[in-house]
A and B are shown apart, each in its own frame.
Chain A
């Protein structure tokens, strides 16, 4: 078939027009064999511009389209849509970036024009070697597996459930609720912790579309976005394994506390009346704050940042719950003296400062300190510390409450392996992008929420549960098929030598090894076209659609000539 390439240069208002001699670019490309038309336009991404392009493609009978304009990040999709609407395959199009890469990087119009010519010529040469790529559609299962029955998992389940979507909620403990069920009250409202969770648990129990597995663990998750096969094992009844299919997975496995025995200077398990924050919460929910001998403490110290140096991160929530503990103590023991030992006070947010101001007072001290050590001092506990000026001080108290760092649950590594995601800083599940993709992961269809992703308070946990649910609700619509990535990798059966290097570099688990043929095989549904395997393949067997060797070579020949 004869190629008819249309080349359109966008002025981008004054952005490109003022810095690049567009007429020279048109001159340079219009005589190239196969170029049927080369024209400029004021703003191709505008509604008029898109209409113009569509008409041009149809009128001129173009087979290929080259646009010299902005970054593909901005408008590649826009122009691919234009191609589709005009009836040509959107992959028979190439966008040359003459704005960010030419107009915006120099004041020298000659230089900018020269480079714009090169890039446009390179795009024209490349587009000749483009192949039509067809979108694929596959059936998907709208059901969701939620792992972890704390506030994050419960919230996600409630958000996701609907008559045409089943949610499987798996909790390893005998009942739902998670850490929150231990909290007497929550800050800063100081309303009972159970308020926030009881109703939600009831809603889950009543909901026919949420199937709850307690005392259970996920054994296996195989497959890909839209089609995961799941095995759940009940740990109380031996060998009772349930299998079902889902389209997405939410990891809401929460957190645990750093073991203060690893920091022996705080006297945990060495001396009586040294408690962790969780032990103190449980004491409060049972009604009474008391020492080992049954009496109420007259004084208490709260030591913040336990394990912070060891873990290498701030756990975000400890300062706030420590303030809440001060309130617990003041409410239950009228004349109690409370001293807080912290290394940095972290109380961000619109209402927390007020809570802090209202909490501190004549019986409540806040000491910025270092080298804190707990010793036995007669019936009491001694606290030695260095204050902000470095001078040594000490006080005695009846009770010490430790605020240990928040850690991922011990089964995080196992779950990361099962769901094919990675662990990041501190062993928490790694998000796809710390800013732009905080609840997605490197595996499409697997999401992380709440403390499984990093230490956070209840509102942030709810936000993430809702965010993950939103991601799933918008991408996994019952009855709608899903479109996997089109620009996927392919491994040539005749060239693959079976060295398996590609398997070790694929972040998405998209490559399997065919033991019978001794070759690697790409699952095009899972592949996201990152190109790692192409780079790693020593025998040239792996290639990626739309970035084939020849396409890149032809583009480069022109670009570097």
Chain B
């Protein structure tokens, strides 16, 4: 991706007959004109009870796409990684995703798990998503619940981690679709890179309209969310803070590693905690039982959570996929999101904010982390 620069102007687009169809109309036009060759976008599965990402090459199929799906059954960055992990390919692909998915894609590009060269990342103002368990019980009801809530920008039915997301409109990819602050029956398209500008150019859409009202609305909303986030994380911290509380929280973990499988950032071929390195001879377990009185099985559940946290919290985008996947309803996403705030904050880093910002652990800066230096030194 070329260097990012959020344009101060955007394009106001007519949302007729509705925003969804207007977005799809633009995507169709772009495929027509060869601006991109394929679109990666969520679509409802035939059974109707879930959504997956689909790589659409036949533009007539676009009409069934759902740019804003009510659930996140597949994290978009996972899909992009599947498509481009082995190289960029010769097709230009537009990926329509939520902001957190776009940011995860950018993180993965820094880890060579995604090649963004022929990708155009398009994000959308995100009202949040419903939790999988809420939706799957009655998809029809869920669909209506989501549509109504999205319309009113009401986050109460959304997942807890979405309720405290202050980056729902963060622009990190190439283009962004802004629905906030738009006049009736319109939405904004905002470009964030040269690639984005080029796409708009080829589509003959001029980026000359003011986006002030979008920016103002995003600002108010994210300030509200920040306040909410602060309080919620404070409560969470008092619930899970300290070793005893932490052990209690993760004691419910059944070691299924679903959280890891759905996490876009967890990309190891074989998780350390699934490897032979954590399988010990029985004497070891007996020895551990002897020194502590007893040990639980399966072992190392808290260790797994802590290890995963250590490995990925610097790149965590708080997308909530892990919590959705947890059969034990452990608030994993909220916990990880809280930790990510702290770890990323200590490096002035925001995961996926900027493709040119290097990962903090491989970037050496002389002026950082003085607070953890040995004061006697």
Q: Which residue of the partner chain, among A495, A553, A561, contacts B269 with CB atoms under 8 Å?
A: A495
- List of A residues within 8 angstroms of B362 by Cβ: 501, 504-505, 536
The contact string, 1 if C-beta is below 8 Å from chain A, for chain B 111-128, is: 111000000000000000
Known: A499-B113, A501-B111. A538 touches B268 (CB 8 A): yes
* Interface residue A480 (Cβ < 8 Å from any Cβ of B): no
Whether A495 pairs with B270 at a CB distance below 8 angstroms is yes
* Interface residue B272 (Cβ < 8 Å from any Cβ of A): yes
- List of A residues within 8 angstroms of B113 by Cβ: 497-499
- List of A residues within 8 angstroms of B230 by Cβ: none
Cα A496 to Cα B269 with chains together (Å): 7
* Interface residue B277 (Cβ < 8 Å from any Cβ of A): yes
Q: Which residue of the partner chain, among B112, B270, B277, contacts A499 with CB atoms under 8 Å?
A: B112
* Interface residue A539 (Cβ < 8 Å from any Cβ of B): yes
Within 8 A of A (CB), among B346-370: 359, 361-362
- List of A residues within 8 angstroms of B111 by Cβ: 497, 499-501, 538
Within 8 A of B (CB), among A522-548: 536, 538-541
Cα A545 to Cα B351 with chains together (Å): 34
B257 to chain A, nearest CB (A): 15
* Interface residue B285 (Cβ < 8 Å from any Cβ of A): no
Whether A500 pairs with B268 at a CB distance below 8 angstroms is no
Whether A536 pairs with B277 at a CB distance below 8 angstroms is no
* Interface residue B238 (Cβ < 8 Å from any Cβ of A): no
Within 8 A of A (CB), among B64-110: 85-86
A interface SS class: loop
In the complex, which residue of chain A has the Cβ closest to the Cβ of B358?
A: A504
* Interface residue A550 (Cβ < 8 Å from any Cβ of B): yes
Whether A518 pairs with B275 at a CB distance below 8 angstroms is no
Whether B267 pairs with A539 at a CB distance below 8 angstroms is yes
Cα A504 to Cα B111 with chains together (Å): 11
* Interface residue A494 (Cβ < 8 Å from any Cβ of B): yes
Whether A549 pairs with B269 at a CB distance below 8 angstroms is no
Whether A494 pairs with B277 at a CB distance below 8 angstroms is no
B interface SS class: loop
B165 to chain A, nearest CB (A): 25
Cα A500 to Cα B109 with chains together (Å): 11
A178 to chain B, nearest CB (A): 35
Interface size class of B (residues with CB under 8 A): 10 to 19
Cα A536 to Cα B358 with chains together (Å): 14
Whether A536 pairs with B361 at a CB distance below 8 angstroms is yes
Cα A496 to Cα B275 with chains together (Å): 14
* Interface residue B60 (Cβ < 8 Å from any Cβ of A): no
In the complex, which residue of chain B has the Cβ closest to the Cβ of A520?
A: B112
The contact string, 1 if C-beta is below 8 Å from chain B, for chain A 211-233, is: 00000000000000000000000
* Interface residue B311 (Cβ < 8 Å from any Cβ of A): yes
A324 to chain B, nearest CB (A): 39
- List of A residues within 8 angstroms of B284 by Cβ: 557
Cα A215 to Cα B278 with chains together (Å): 61
* Interface residue B291 (Cβ < 8 Å from any Cβ of A): yes
A538 to chain B, nearest CB (A): 6
Whether A539 pairs with B86 at a CB distance below 8 angstroms is no
Whether B277 pairs with A497 at a CB distance below 8 angstroms is no
Whether A495 pairs with B268 at a CB distance below 8 angstroms is yes
B88 to chain A, nearest CB (A): 13
Which of B269, B277, B284 has the most CB atoms of chain A within a 10 A radius of its CB?
B269
Whether A501 pairs with B269 at a CB distance below 8 angstroms is no
Whether B268 pairs with A518 at a CB distance below 8 angstroms is no
Known: A504-B362, A538-B311. A497 touches B291 (CB 8 A): no
A3 to chain B, nearest CB (A): 15
Cα A37 to Cα B284 with chains together (Å): 24
A553 to chain B, nearest CB (A): 8
In the complex, which residue of chain B has the Cβ closest to the Cβ of A505?
A: B362
Known: A499-B111, A518-B86. A539 touches B277 (CB 8 A): no
Cα A497 to Cα B85 with chains together (Å): 10
Cα A97 to Cα B348 with chains together (Å): 41
- List of B residues within 8 angstroms of A505 by Cβ: 362
The contact string, 1 if C-beta is below 8 Å from chain B, for chain A 141-154, is: 00000000000000
Cα A540 to Cα B311 with chains together (Å): 11
- List of B residues within 8 angstroms of A494 by Cβ: 269-270
Cα A555 to Cα B267 with chains together (Å): 30
Whether B359 pairs with A550 at a CB distance below 8 angstroms is no
- List of B residues within 8 angstroms of A497 by Cβ: 111, 113, 267-269
Interface residues of A, Cβ cutoff 8 Å to B: 494-501, 504-505, 518, 536, 538-541, 549-550, 553, 557, 561
List 3 tightest A-B contacts by C-beta distance, closest first. A539-B268, A499-B111, A499-B112
Q: List 12 A-B contacts (CB under 8 A).
A: A494-B269, A495-B268, A497-B267, A497-B269, A499-B111, A499-B113, A499-B267, A501-B359, A538-B111, A539-B268, A540-B277, A557-B284
